[in-house]
């Protein structure tokens, strides 16, 4: 049976991996909507290849260019934030949510409110909006599936019928490019070094988050939203080979792990076919050639982002949204070479000390908190920039 799909963030690394799988089985999938931030040519090429019904460019200034690029096709085009929300709610059976940052918050909510299966590749909706996304899914009957390799691994190992039998969840982290650096060495790292992840191929923002381990902190918060386990029973361990993607330990001492090559097409394929399985072009895991699997506890002094994320999770309310907004601002400043690498976490901590709003009750509240937190982060940044 043909499944209708929409891809929010079609030109990014997750969108590209998703399209690779879909286009290998064109009779199995029908593309409803595609979105991109500003890459008109790439979006138009994808829309033509997949005969997409609807293509949206977030940067509305690029809409005339997109309209020209898709002239003569049957693809409807639009631009701007409202169009992103329209694309997300366009009725697909399966929606990949891969818009980086809080820009994906309203589109994700629109996708969840229409029902169907919503696959989360961006952490920000669950981190910033807290329980609002799961509550909307419960009202609409939507199914939320995680595409992050770590959360997808937990999903595959977790016994949802008997969650009380789970003793703990263990999230694995590669440790990023600076896992063996001293604090002094980390103080002088460049943007080029920070975006060069040793295992995964990702966008710049996520690569920086992986280098600071904020990515793992955000995953900690996300795991607490996705799985019925107390936050104190969710742990993080460094695993440089990125072969074991996460583990679930049960009360009898059994520990289940999902292993696989470090290729995002594996977890994406799991969500595309769920509850079935589908073939992928991913290389089989060769354990003999890997030879060994290493583990280590993360260093809280070199990677304070983990402490900040756990503090935000334990505090609850709006704290995770403030953490996320401040981190986005600090990462952007680092990528623009305005601050040093170690100042990213320092700016996040300063922002969290400056701003502690009430818990959000609606998506509009989350957006307002995000906006205000960014303003506070900009003020906090002046201490480091000036």
Regarding whether 170 and 64 lie in a shared domain, the answer is no
Question: Which of 147, 168, 192 is a domain's end point?
Answer: 147
Regarding whether 137 and 66 lie in a shared domain, the answer is yes
The values of phi and psi at residue 52, to 5°, are -65, 145
Regarding whether 202 and 116 lie in a shared domain, the answer is no
Regarding whether 106 and 30 lie in a shared domain, the answer is yes
Domain carrying residue 15 = 3-147
Q: Is 182 exposed, middle or buried (0-12, 13-18, 19+ CB in 10 A)?
A: exposed
126 belongs to a structural domain: yes
pLDDT for 384 equals 80
Assign residue 112 the CATH number of its domain: 3.40.50.720
Regarding whether 186 and 85 lie in a shared domain, the answer is no
Question: Which of 147, 173, 204 is a domain's end point?
Answer: 147
**Residues contacting 33, CB < 8 A, separation 6+:** 6, 7, 8, 52, 53, 54, 55, 56, 87, 88, 90, 92
274 belongs to a structural domain: no
Regarding whether 327 and 306 lie in a shared domain, the answer is yes
pLDDT digits 0-9 by tens, 128-152: 998 999 999 999 999 999 999 999 9
pTM: 0.92
The values of phi and psi at residue 203, to 5°, are -70, 170
66 belongs to a structural domain: yes
Regarding whether 74 and 29 lie in a shared domain, the answer is yes
Assign residue 326 the CATH number of its domain: 1.10.1740.10
Regarding whether 206 and 82 lie in a shared domain, the answer is no
289 belongs to a structural domain: no
- Digitized pLDDT (tens) for each residue of the chain, 386 residues in all: 799 999 999 999 999 999 999 999 999 999 999 999 999 999 999 999 999 999 999 999 999 999 999 999 999 999 999 999 999 999 999 999 999 877 889 999 999 999 999 999 988 889 999 899 999 999 999 999 999 999 999 999 999 999 999 999 999 999 999 999 999 999 999 999 998 876 666 678 889 999 999 999 999 999 999 999 999 999 999 999 999 999 999 999 999 999 999 899 999 999 999 999 999 999 999 999 999 999 999 999 999 999 999 999 999 999 999 999 999 999 999 999 999 999 999 999 999 999 999 999 999 999 999 999 999 999 999 888 75
Q: Are strands 76-79 and 54-57 parallel, antiparallel or unpaired?
A: parallel
376 belongs to a structural domain: yes
State the total domains in the chain.
Answer: 2
291 belongs to a structural domain: no
């Amino acid at each position: 049976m043909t499944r209708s799909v929409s891809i929010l963030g079609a030109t990014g690394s997750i969108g590209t991996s998703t399209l690779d799988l879909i286009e290998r089985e064109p009779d199995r999938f029908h593309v409803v909507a595609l979105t991109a931030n500003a890459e008109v040519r790439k979006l138009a090429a994808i829309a033509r290849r997949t005969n997409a019904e609807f293509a949206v460019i977030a940067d509305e200034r690029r809409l005339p260019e997109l309209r020209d690029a898709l002239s003569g096709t049957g693809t409807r085009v639009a631009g701007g934030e409202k169009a992103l929300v329209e694309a997300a709610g366009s009725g697909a059976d399966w929606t990949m949510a891969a818009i980086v940052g809080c820009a994906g918050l309203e589109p994700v909510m629109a996708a969840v409110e229409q029902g169907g299966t919503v696959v989360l590749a961006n952490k920000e909706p669950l981190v910033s909006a807290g329980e609002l996304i799961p509550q909307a899914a419960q009202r609409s009957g939507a199914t939320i599936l995680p595409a992050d390799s770590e959360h997808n691994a937990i999903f595959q190992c977790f016994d949802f019928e008997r969650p009380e039998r789970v003793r703990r969840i263990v999230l694995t982290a590669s440790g990023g490019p600076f896992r063996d650096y001293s604090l002094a060495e980390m103080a002088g790292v460049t943007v080029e070094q920070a975006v060069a992840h040793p295992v995964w191929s990702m966008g710049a923002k996520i690569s920086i988050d992986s280098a600071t381990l904020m990515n793992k902190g955000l995953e900690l918060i996300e795991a607490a939203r996705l799985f019925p386990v107390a936050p104190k029973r969710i742990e993080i361990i460094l695993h440089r080979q990125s072969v074991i993607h996460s583990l679930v330990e049960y009360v009898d001492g059994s520990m289940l792990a999902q292993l696989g090559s470090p290729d995002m097409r594996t977890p994406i394929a799991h969500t595309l076919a769920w509850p079935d399985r589908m073939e992928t072009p991913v290389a089989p895991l060769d354990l003999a050639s890997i030879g060994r699997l290493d583990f280590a506890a993360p260093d809280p002094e070199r990677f304070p982002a983990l402490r900040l994320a756990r503090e935000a999770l334990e505090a609850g309310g709006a704290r995770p949204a403030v953490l996320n907004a401040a981190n986005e601002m600090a990462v952007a400043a680092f990528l623009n070479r305005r601050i040093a690498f170690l100042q990213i976490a320092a700016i996040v901590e300063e922002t969290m000390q400056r701003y502690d709003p009430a818990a959000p009750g609606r998506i509009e509240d989350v957006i307002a908190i995000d906006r205000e937190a960014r303003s506070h982060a900009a003020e906090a940044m002046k201490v480091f920039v000036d």
